Amino acid sequence: MDGVPRGATANYVYIARRNNSLSSSGRRLAFGFILSVSLGIAGAFSVVFGAWPIVPFAGIEMAVLYLAFRYIDRHAGDYERIAIHGDNVSVEVREAGNVARFELNRCWAQVICESEGARLALRSHGREIEVGRHVCDEQRLEMARNLVRELRRT
């Protein structure tokens, strides 16, 4: 973990992850099932009733569903990690495979919470890092209270 010396543990660590109800293999199985049912129905209507225009629309529908599942798969591992150790606040954000790390001084860090938890950020020295994107408004408010308490702790 960045910002924490080897062998030491952070005083405070908060990790927020996305809620993934299906695993990657579960998404593939669901897509395969939906694909076979949709193309099966389109094929049946095409052969039995001669309604061939159904097939291209079913194909477009499956292409859009594939892109949506691909987007979900790409962002399944996203997380935010905030660690406080001594005078150092370390924020690590993983989004779509890219990891960004930020270091803030605990004494200068401010917690910015706007409009009943709709937005939460840490600010220091002109930089602002938005956090709490993977949690609901109530959890964001609780996270803001905990961060303020931990930043004030000596």
Q: Are residues 86 and 53 in the same domain?
A: no
Quote the domain boundaries for residue 50: 24-74
- pLDDT tens for the chain, 154 residues long, are 445 555 556 788 999 998 888 899 999 999 999 999 999 999 999 999 999 999 999 999 999 999 999 999 999 999 999 999 989 999 999 998 899 999 999 999 999 998 887 899 999 988 999 999 989 889 999 999 999 999 988 6
Same-domain status, 114 and 70 = no
Please give the C-alpha separations between residue 98 and each of 69, 77, 102, 104, 109, in angstroms, as whole numbers: 19, 10, 13, 20, 24
| Rounded distance between C-alpha atoms, residue 129 and residue 65, angstroms | 32
- pLDDT, position 1: 42
pLDDT of residue 97: 87
Query: What are the residues facing 75 on neighbouring strands?
Result: none
**139-148: buried (b, 16+ CB within 10 Å) or exposed (e) per residue?**
ebbebbeebe
Say if residue 59 is in the same domain as residue 99. Answer: no
User: Is residue 15 domain-resident?
Assistant: no
Provide the number of structural domains found in the chain: 2
Please name which of 123, 127, 78 lies closest in space to residue 144, comparing C-alpha atoms. Answer: 123
DSSP-derived letter for residue 111 is E
Q: Residue 134: inside a domain, yes or no?
A: yes
Q: What is the pLDDT of residue 19?
A: 87
- Per-residue pLDDT, 9: 67
